[in-house]
Amino acid sequence: MPVKENDPVSIVAARRTPLGAFMGTFAGTPATELGAAAIRAALSDGALEGADVSEVLMGCVLPAGLGQAPARQSAKGAGLADSVGATTINKVCGSGMKAVMIGADLIRAGSAGIVVAGGMESMSRAPFLLQEMRGGRKAGSAEILDHMMNDGLEDAYERGRPMGAFGEATAKKYNFSRADQDAYSIETLERARAAVASGAFDAECVPVTVKTKKGELSVSRDERPEQINPAKIPHLRSAFGTDGTITAASSSANADGAAALVLAGAREANHRNLPVIAHILGHASHSQAPAWFTTSPIPAIRKLLTQVGWKPGEVDLFEVNEAFAVVAMAAAQEIGIPREKLNVKGGACALGHPIGATGARILVTLIHALRANGGKRGVASLCIGGGEATAVAVELVD
């Protein structure tokens, strides 16, 4: 069904897997299987069959070793028809959100009717690379590259420099002390632990069955929050230099997981009588110097708010990815986001950051948090290595 001007893009369903700790519960599960689990759950919520979907878009930053076309593998694993196209997207941490943005634009352009968009990642299964072996090596040692670090967690412009080093520059710019960051990290952990314990994540999480030495295990809750002792956070060593202020607690943790959303034009959703839960009102991107990727969500959110005509105080909840605590802290300070509206179920410092999935994961969490808290308007944003950021505005349907 063609999309008309001012026909908003509807979100029909939004689900994610639990997030597994690095080398934890999901260490033996490929990203494509996690992606398939999220897609199946979202389609089931939307009461849709696999053949109803026009296109699948899935973010994945660490595809080495997964085999051809990871998004296609996830689509087939979820039971979608062979006729459904699939595309894998890599925009580093923004991959999952960019998949949603492209999906929304495909629908607006009339190029697709129903789109499944999201992201997936297994950081635990990212392989090591031997680049020099293609040409052969007659003698001497060869460098082994960590796919996860080289292609996901280290700067491409200052080779080998970890992303946290840039976070330290942000902490210095904003005068965020070690104590400030520790306090933020403890609060986000407490929020995540409370959400896990109370079942606040249950509506968004689909259980995933994994095989263990003791048999099959159903994983239904995020793994990492219960592994962290908040009392130890003030005593952790600096992660990026002896005089640094950022620790493992104020950094996002490597993780495994997936998220998926089902999108449709509002008229298409009405025609099919689909259970619409929210509309995408707009999306925005911003790019700046790679060294300041940590502050890029600030102008991205400002662009988005201007686009949709909202003031910061008119937004009920924000999700700003905690690549580092200072990213969310800086955005809150610059935009004027009250702490009670920011990452209300905790963020990546506690839950983990499966880089190809997080952009979609924070959208899923935002939508369910709005529903649970009686809110209506939400904004999700995240920084992206290379100096970029994306942001999406959603509004719940009454």
Among all residues, which ones are annotated catalytic?
93, 353, 383
Do the Cβ atoms of 290 and 149 come closer than 8 Å? no
Nearest-angstrom CA–CA distance, 114 and 112: 6
DSSP string, 47-84: T--GGG-SEEEEE-S--TTS-S-HHHHHHHHTT--TTS
Q: Taking the mean position of all CA atoms in its chain, how far away is CA 22?
A: 16
How would you class 292 by CB atoms within 10 Å of its CB: exposed for 0-12, middle for 13-18, buried for 19 or more? middle
Encode burial over 316-336: b for 16+ CB neighbours within 10 A, e otherwise. Answer: bbbbbbbbbbbbbbbbbebbe
Q: Which residue matches tokens 């702490």?
A: 339
- The single-letter code of the amino acid at 366 is L
Query: E strands of 82-207, at which residues?
Result: 85-89, 114-122, 128-129, 145-146
- In whole angstroms, give the CA distance from residue 245 to residue 185: 12
- Picking from 16, 383, 332, the residue whose alpha carbon sits closest to that of residue 184 is 332
Q: What is the DSSP letter of 152?
A: I
Sign of CA dihedral 95, 27, 205, 208: positive
CA angle 315, 321, 325 (to 5 degrees): 110
Task: Give the SS3 label for residue 240.
Answer: coil
Classify burial at 244, counting beta carbons within 10 Å of its beta carbon; exposed 0-12, middle 13-18, buried 19 or more. Answer: middle
Q: Tell me the C-alpha distance between 171 and 247, whole Å.
A: 12
The strand pair at 114-122 and 255-265 is best described as antiparallel
Measured CA to CA, the distance from residue 336 to residue 11 in angstroms comes to: 28
